[in-house]
Amino acid sequence: MFKEKRRFWFSIIVGLVLLIAAFLLLKEILNWWPNFKSNRSQVDVYFLDVGQGDATLFYTDSREVILVDGGPNLSVLYELGKALPFYERTIDLLILTHPDSDHINGLVEVVKRYKIKRVLFTGISDDLAAYKIWQEYIRLSGAEIVIAQAGQRFIYGGLNLAVLYPLEDLSNRTFVDTNESSLAIKFSFQTIDFLLTGDLPIEQELILVNSGNDLSAEVMKTGHHGSKTSTHQSFLDAVKPQYVVISAGKDNNYGHPHYIVLQRLLSRHINILRTDEMGTIRIVTNGQNIEIK
């Protein structure tokens, strides 16, 4: 008798759990279904909290997914799962700014778990194991591979991408400091611009300043996680950002962001957003205004 009652109540509890789970799943589907294929009137930009590293996600007005870098570990998968609708399993454009472990390690698993349509990177030569593995997975994935160079432009819905650096084809070249090969890309949605420069050092920032390109952007991510080797005063004056995002790990061993960089930003009354303090930072724009989430 006791065993029968226990089985009865166990069945009731399991049934209730399954019923609640089904209800929550149905609610999630109904929330997303009206907009499943329709375009949106905004672009969502997520500076993902991946610790001491970089990973930036653009979810466009046409529901296309652009991922720039993947951080140092698997935390990028967790953050992607939180940011994207459950049915989004395709990355339309995957960008690697440069092959350092804190930018590429997470991308190995991303390529294994998502369908990748197009890849943009410099194609430099480097012995980093994760970089070699990633390249092999990319090759096997069948994704379109594009070697980045200044002057290239890409359009995803209403979001326009302009490659600003490197100024020449770097494929198969080797670098003592791979930061010097970092991609710099400007993302524009109507009147709102975002500028990402990977870990680009000051010397290359000054080359950009003198390149004649329009560097102005409402939102800029600091180079090299706020290190003093990036974010030169002249570069800031050329970009004139309203907001600067610093992607760095909490209590990291590198002292990022450096106080000199913070001082430069504060002296220009620039709003500072830090992943080590705020976690993942979501910025939403309708092309005219910016909202911090």
Model confidence pLDDT, tens digit, residues 245-289: 999 999 999 999 999 999 999 999 999 999 999 999 999 999 999
Q: For the chain, which residues make up each domain, given as ranges?
A: 1-38, 39-292
Residue 32 has pLDDT above 70, yes or no: no
- Mean pLDDT for 119-141 is 97
pLDDT confidence of residue 40: 83
One-letter identity of residue 276: D
Contacts of 177 (CB under 8 A, 6+ apart): 201
CA distance 292 to 136: 37
- Identify which of 287, 77, 97 has the alpha carbon closest to the alpha carbon of residue 194: 287
Question: 118 - beta bridge partners?
Answer: 144
Q: Could you name the CATH architecture of 39-292?
A: 4-Layer Sandwich (3.60)
